[in-house]
Structure 1
Amino acid sequence: MFPAVVEAGQLFAKVDVSEQTMRVYRDGTQIHTWQVSTARKGKITPRGVLHAKWLSKEHKSGFYNNALMPFAIFCSGNFAIHCTNQISRLGHPASSGCIRLHPDKAAKLFAMTPQVGCAI
């Protein structure tokens, strides 16, 4: 299984779906390793190189009954990296396709994104 990769300039995040981890690199040096939740059975997390299209700090899903998606970094279509309140599910597939992060980690990644031109 190929990992999903998100990149921008000197910052990129490599998501390993089989390990349910995200490794964040700046200037080629790994600076963080975080647990994530990607798509649960029957859903798909996109693979390949993805570029951020836009950010939404206090996003609410238009597809899932206004579900909160704080610190959302949208990469393509309706796919995003965002905060989750289901912290106990991190490290296990649980999403509808997005990459979910711990609230503190999502806020940190969100804050780093504009520093490299609003793309990761």
Structure 2
Amino acid sequence: MRINALFLASLFVAASVQSAAARVNVHIDLGSQRMYVNSARGSYSWPVSTARAGYRTPRGVFSAKALQPMHYSAKYDNAPMPHSIFFNGGYAIHGTYATRALGRPASHGCVRLSPWNAARLYSMVRQEGATISISGRR
């Protein structure tokens, strides 16, 4: 009986480790304006744009709350937000067509990526889930 309990406990731990490892880990560094991604598909480092002066990108640890293949911002003139990954209220990681601004603060608070990288991240998060951490100073 005790061996069965130990066996079941070890299976539970193994399953927990596997499911935790399957999640996409996304880290956004506000200082360097870079996103670091680790997933079952590989590791990536991409330039991003976060909040410009007068706005803020929230810091902390979040999970992906909602995914939308194409969202239009009701707050900012129906601005397109392709491959949106919402993580904190109206804050999202999403693609941008303003790719020249990537690598420096330029948004109203969301985390912007190139359309190609946003599509890739969206696909990973949709399949694996995500833990999103944001730290650093602009």
CA displacement at 1:9 relative to structure 2: 5.2
| Among candidates 5, 10, 31, match of residue 18 of structure 1 | 31
- For 2:48 and 2:55, locate their aligned partners in 1 and report how far apart those are by CA, in whole Å: 15
Distance 1:76 1:100 in 2: 15
* 2:29 alignment partner AA: D
Identity across matched positions, percent = 46
In the alignment, structure 1 segments of 5+ residues that lack a partner are 1-7
Report the alpha carbon displacement of residue 10 of structure 1 after superposing the two structures with TM: 2.5
Residues matched between the structures, number: 112
**Structure 1 partner of 2:13:** none
Checking the alignment, whether the CA contact within 8 Å between 2:96 and 2:113 is kept in structure 1 is yes
Q: Which residue in the other structure is 1:100 paired with?
A: 112
Q: What is the identity, as a one-letter code, of the residue corresponding to 1:69?
A: M
Structure 1 stretches of 4+ with a deviation exceeding 6 A read: none
Deviations 1:75-111 (A, max 9, x none): 0110000000110000000000000000100000001
Q: CA RMSD in A?
A: 2.0
Which structure is higher in RCO with an 8 Å CA cutoff and minimum separation 6?
2
Please report the TM-score for the alignment, with normalisation by the length of structure 1.
0.86
Larger radius of gyration: 2
